[in-house]
Amino acid sequence: MEDRDLPRAQLVYATLKDMIRDGAVRPGQRMREIEIAEAQGVSRTPVREAMHRLVSEGLLEASAARGIAVTELSKQQVLELYALREFLEGASARFAAQHASLPEMRALHELIDYINTIPEEDHTQHAQLNKRFHAQIAEAAHNTYLSRALSQLSDSLMLVPGTTFQAKGRVGDVRREHLAILAAIDARDAEGAETAARDHIRKAGEVRLQMLFGQR
């Protein structure tokens, strides 16, 4: 690829990643190089580079039968993702309990207060704020390598469609689970914070499996 195509490839990469994140393209949907190039107003070379990068990251998958498509996760893959997320979010909460500054703790309380004003039926907003809550805990953990691992995991979780907030009663459950995590962080209870965070993610995983596959 020529050097002049590098910025275009990066732009196409970011655009395709946003489309996956926003659900504009769904798991299993075929990605046609020529159509993307026309839509983005670029040649096929930067599109090809962007798609290959997304394949290497696991967000797209190539097969002889249908070419390149958005990765569709199996039940086992979803189980593995949530098992890793449980471990990482637990560590994040533990470190936050040990290292969070007072302003960071206040910010978490303010976010929880704001979340409580969101109508239960606004599933999209709850999902976005839930991500923000966990992101703020990760920042308060003050561990660069953990933050990097969580960011990479977040990319893979983009492939899991929908949101657990669509499940009946999940909004109320998450509120209680978030408060338990925050209470442990406030108390500088590292073990309690990790336990509460892992319990929160484990329950989210159970709900997700029920939604996707009809069983836990």
Q: Note the pLDDT of residue 35.
A: 94
**Domain at 75-213, CATH from 2.40.50.140, 3.30.1490.20, 3.40.190.10, 1.20.120.530:** 1.20.120.530
Q: Note the pLDDT of residue 41.
A: 92
User: In this predicted model, what pLDDT tens digit does every residue of 46-61 receive, in sequence order?
Assistant: 999 999 999 999 999 9
State pTM to two decimals: 0.84
Q: How far apart are the first and last CA of the chain?
A: 46
Asked if 13 contacts 50 with a C-beta cutoff of 8 angstroms, the reply is yes
The helix/strand count (H/E) of the chain reads as: 9, 2
* CATH number for the domain whose boundaries are 3-70: 1.10.10.10
User: In this predicted model, what pLDDT tens digit does every residue of 198-208 receive, in sequence order?
Assistant: 999 999 999 99
